[in-house]
């Protein structure tokens, strides 16, 4: 991971959004794919906060999905980035070059690499987390009904239109089990977003 100040990271995200708009004026970039590509350690909640911040300052529009935050630059974001000047462009290009060193030498330009990661199903991370929770539950020999609840959540998440209230209710019950409380809290971050937007 290339070390970067938080304010610079946000500026680089907006700069990338400008480049993405030049390639596809209607497209959105996956914030979680970007953060993963640059190996920035983050929680999903932090990705949500970044999306909300960029929206609040008027630099981006955000679309909140289960497991992802998709961003698109606004006019305000374009003006902001263009006002940063040449030194910023040099720093941004150096940052991207440093990030690309972690990938094969024949990697495509960063935006193309990011677009490949955009197509990854954001729910895959959630399903992996659910699998981890289920495994821990089985190892702890938890009640079979409780294990079935986590399996129901997995099925519901995989639907095109999951019943988020039902998922949240089941997660609230599962929070009381100490063996899996950290993972359930993490899973709740992914689901509760839709209750607030």
pLDDT, tens digit (0-9, with 9 covering 90-100), for 121-156: 777 778 888 898 999 888 888 888 888 999 998 898
- Predicted pLDDT at 72: 94
Whether residues 27 and 106 share a domain: the answer is yes
Whether residues 131 and 36 share a domain: the answer is no
Q: Which of 1-10, 20-29, 75-84, 104-113 has the highest mean pLDDT?
A: 75-84
CATH number at 66 reads 1.10.10.10
Whether residues 180 and 130 share a domain: the answer is yes
Whether residues 170 and 150 share a domain: the answer is yes
Q: Which two tokens stand for residue 29?
A: 């970039």
> 109 in a domain, yes or no?
yes
Whether residues 109 and 147 share a domain: the answer is no
Beta strands (DSSP E) in the chain are: 29-30, 60-65, 68-73
pLDDT digits (tens, 9 = 90+) for 32-70: 888 888 888 888 889 989 999 999 999 999 988 888 889
Q: Could you tell me the residue range of the domain that residue 191 belongs to?
A: 123-196
Average pLDDT over residues 181-189: 83
> 190 in a domain, yes or no?
yes
What's the total number of domains in the chain? 2
Kindly indicate the confidence band of residue 4, based on its pLDDT and cuts at 50, 70 and 90: confident
- Predicted pLDDT at 71: 93
Whether residues 11 and 94 share a domain: the answer is yes
pLDDT digits (tens, 9 = 90+) for 65-109: 888 889 999 999 999 999 998 999 999 988 888 887 776 644 456
Distance CA 151, CA 85 (A): 52
- Predicted pLDDT at 171: 87
> 181 in a domain, yes or no?
yes
Whether residues 108 and 140 share a domain: the answer is no
> 51 in a domain, yes or no?
yes
> 40 in a domain, yes or no?
yes
Whether residues 93 and 128 share a domain: the answer is no
- Predicted pLDDT at 195: 47
Picking from 118, 135, 157, the residue at the C-terminal end of a domain is 118
> 1 in a domain, yes or no?
no
Distance CA 155, CA 152 (A): 5
Whether residues 101 and 136 share a domain: the answer is no
Picking from 84, 118, 152, the residue at the C-terminal end of a domain is 118
Distance CA 11, CA 78 (A): 11
Whether residues 16 and 102 share a domain: the answer is yes
pTM, to two decimals: 0.73
Q: What is the largest CA-CA distance in the chain?
A: 61
Picking from 70, 93, 118, the residue at the C-terminal end of a domain is 118
Whether residues 18 and 111 share a domain: the answer is yes
Average pLDDT over residues 26-37: 86
Average pLDDT over residues 163-189: 84
- Predicted pLDDT at 107: 47
């Amino acid at each position: 991971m290339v070390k970067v100040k938080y304010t610079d990271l946000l500026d680089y995200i907006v700069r990338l959004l400008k480049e993405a708009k030049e390639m596809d004026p209607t497209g959105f970039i996956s914030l979680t794919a970007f953060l993963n590509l640059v190996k920035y350690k983050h929680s999903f909640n932090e990705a949500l906060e970044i999306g909300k911040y960029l929206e609040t300052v008027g630099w981006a529009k955000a679309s909140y999905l289960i497991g992802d935050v998709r961003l698109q630059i606004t006019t305000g974001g374009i003006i902001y980035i263009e006002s940063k000047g040449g030194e910023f462009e040099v720093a941004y290009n150096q940052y991207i070059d440093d990030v690309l060193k972690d990938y094969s030498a024949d990697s495509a330009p960063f935006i193309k690499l990011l677009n490949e990661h955009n197509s990854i199903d954001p729910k895959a991370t959630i399903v992996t987390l659910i699998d981890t929770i289920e495994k821990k539950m089985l190892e702890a020999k938890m009640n079979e009904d409780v294990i079935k609840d986590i399996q129901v959540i997995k099925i519901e998440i995989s639907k095109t239109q999951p019943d988020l209230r039902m998922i949240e209710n089941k997660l609230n019950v599962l929070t009381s089990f100490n063996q899996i409380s950290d993972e359930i809290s993490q899973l709740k971050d992914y689901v509760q977003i839709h209750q607030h937007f």
